[in-house]
Amino acid sequence: MEDDTSYTISQLAEEFGVTTRTIRFYEEKNLIHPRREGQKRIYKPADRVRLHLILRGKRIGLSLDESLEIIDLYDPSGNNKDQYLALIRKIEEKKQQLHLQLNDIEHMISDLDRVQEQCKRELNPNEAQ
């Protein structure tokens, strides 16, 4: 039995908190495939799910290509082990990248603190004594 639920671009934009322009962008990239009724776009539940997954990927720092790579591994038969394993690998890569960035940020803050203190000492040499 086919699901005859449909969504307009405005409904999806409101639901996901994005602009209609964002949704049209994903359509232009051939990531979602609404049917047309004149100028009106009609989205299927599958389009809604893909949009949801693309936006979730974006929120966790995946590129569009990375998200699509994982989404395209989806197996309707229910065996999505490869999809889950690919997502876990991407998550580990992102976490490692973020830990490195956090370490860099902590070093930069420390360096800024040292320079700031040095500048304060130079401005007020008598207070250092």
The string of pLDDT tens digits covering residues 44-83 is 999 999 999 999 999 999 999 999 999 888 887 788 899 9
pLDDT exceeds 80 at position 1: no
Task: Give the integer Cα–Cα distance in Å for 96 and 61.
Answer: 12
* Pair 67, 54: CB distance under 8 Å: yes
With pLDDT > 70 as the criterion, what percentage of the chain qualifies?
96
* CB neighbour list of residue 60: distance below 8 Å, 6 or more residues apart: 91, 94
pLDDT exceeds 60 at position 116: yes
Collapse the DSSP code of 36 into the 3-class scheme (helix H, G, I; strand E, B; otherwise coil) and give the result: strand
Region 70-98 average pLDDT: 90
CB neighbour list of residue 19: distance below 8 Å, 6 or more residues apart:
13
Residue 3 pLDDT grade (very low, low, confident, very high; cuts 50, 70, 90): low
- Judge whether 27 and 33 are in contact, CB under 8 Å: yes
CA–CA dist 20, 28 (Å, integer): 12
User: Fold for domain 1-60?
Assistant: Multidrug-efflux Transporter Regulator; Chain: A; Domain 2 (1.10.1660)
How far from 69 is each of 54, 57, 85, 90, 128, CA to CA, in Å? 11, 11, 12, 10, 58
Contact 86, 99 (CB under 8 A): no
